[in-house]
Amino acid sequence: MNLGGLPLLNTYGRYPIVITRGEGCRLFDQNGKSYLDFLAGIAVISAGHSNPQVAAAVCDQIGKLAHVSNLFYNPPMMELAVKLNEITGWGKVFFSNSGAEANECAIKLVRKWAGDGRYKILCAIESFHGRTLGSLAATGQPAKWKGFEPLPEGFVHLPYNDLPAFEAAIDGKTAAILIEPIQGEGGVQPATQEFLSGLRELCTSKNIALVFDEVQSGIGRTGHWWAFQSYGVKPDLFTSAKALGNGLPIGACIADSPFSEALVPGDHASTFGGGAVVSRGALAAIEFLESEKCLANATAMGGLLSEVLVTMDGVKEVRGHGLMLGVVLTQDRAKDVASKALELGLIVNAVRDNVLRLTPPLTITEADVHEACALLRKAMA
């Protein structure tokens, strides 16, 4: 098939490869070539490709009930909401279909909660929150705005990890601060402890909402269910998606009281949000990560991976938490290295000119780590 002749909008810079199946930490293309997947659909397939437990749950559910409108409850959605509350320790949930939609909910929620003309949301430079107009306006990457302006107003972008800049930007119109505990698309940049702790104190004292975008860093990727738990800093609400459904389209906005009371019937909705099939799959994925102790594995394998990576020629540093790692190169050749790694059978991606992003499934083994590092070393050479 002529890939260039497909009737698809040209919105992605795809490799000319057709992936036909996956198993665990590996993908296979149309020619049968195997790839060790250290990207996992960009931090999505945390429980591994074609996870048997998730597949069985989805198949069982679709034979019972695929969809019912949100005029009614469905059991998997109810069980998933309880499970998310359990692993978080607090909060009420709104289910969406993606991370961008979860962030849209958070934006609307904090504006409704703030009231009294308070609508401004402080965000970080180099942040990424999605590509819908609202989440794009929150995203601190001007190159992604071009062609879509004017964007919704009220978003202010400030240097990441610069607490004084955020404090100085707060005024009577400020409703919230929206931040990623670890910037993913921004080059896998972790927040400092002082920054997140300072934001918490600042938001409490100024009566503004603290919102964490955990779309990429959540669901065990950092060794905790949520990255904010590793910092010991509690937001007022946060968002999740990507790994939540292990490949199924589901997102969530989770808010604590009194923020969770801000939205009432008619304020926000999603036709497919909290659907029975995706909720059942998400529940199975979380239960798998729990039963297989994948969060502990993320910490252990992330540590081992970092230790090996920093010994490579051409690597300046390795940053991140758990299995959300950024490999900073000494030269701006990340795209070339990622392409060569793909030829050798290893999937990583260049998130910046000099940064490779590694977000493998949380099920990887020591053997997988050493195999990936050997392939990456060859690609670097």
Q: What is the largest CA-CA distance in the chain?
A: 60
Delimit the domains of the chain by residue range: 3-50+293-380, 53-291
Model pLDDT for residues 320-329, shown as the tens digit of each residue: 999 999 999 9
Does residue 2 register a pLDDT over 80?
no
Spatial neighbors of 373 by CB under 8 A, at least 6 apart, are 305, 308, 309, 312
**Catalytic (active site) residue 95:** no
Question: Which pLDDT does position 159 carry in this prediction?
Answer: 98
Determine what percent of the chain is predicted with pLDDT higher than 90: 98
337-364: average pLDDT: 98
Q: Per the residue annotation, which of 38, 212, 242, 368 is the catalytic one?
A: 242
57-74: average pLDDT: 97
Model pLDDT for residues 153-205, shown as the tens digit of each residue: 999 999 999 999 999 999 999 999 999 999 999 999 999 999 999 999 999 99
**Catalytic (active site) residue 213:** yes
Cα separation, 235 vs 27, in Å, equals 36
**Catalytic (active site) residue 267:** no
Question: Which pLDDT does position 4 carry in this prediction?
Answer: 75
Domains 3-50+293-380 and 53-291 equal at CATH topology level = no
Angle at which helix 366-380 crosses helix 294-309, to 10 degrees, equals 30
145-158: average pLDDT: 97
Q: What CATH number has the domain spanning 53-291?
A: 3.40.640.10
Model pLDDT for residues 237-279, shown as the tens digit of each residue: 999 999 999 999 999 999 999 999 999 999 999 999 999 999 9
Spatial neighbors of 168 by CB under 8 A, at least 6 apart, are none
Please give the DSSP secondary-structure letter assigned to residue 152: P
Indicate the pTM of the whole model: 0.97
pLDDT level of residue 5 (50, 70, 90 thresholds): confident
* 94 and 77 Cβ atoms separated by less than 8 Å: no
Q: Per the residue annotation, which of 38, 95, 128, 195 is the catalytic one?
A: 128
84-106: average pLDDT: 98
Does residue 151 register a pLDDT over 80?
yes
Spatial neighbors of 235 by CB under 8 A, at least 6 apart, are 200, 210, 211, 212, 228
Does residue 12 register a pLDDT over 70?
yes
Does residue 76 register a pLDDT over 70?
yes
Element (H, E) at 239: strand 237-240
Question: Which pLDDT does position 1 carry in this prediction?
Answer: 67
Q: Per the residue annotation, which of 213, 236, 259, 368 is the catalytic one?
A: 213
Per CATH, the homologous superfamily of domain 3-50+293-380 is Aspartate Aminotransferase, domain 1 (3.90.1150.10)
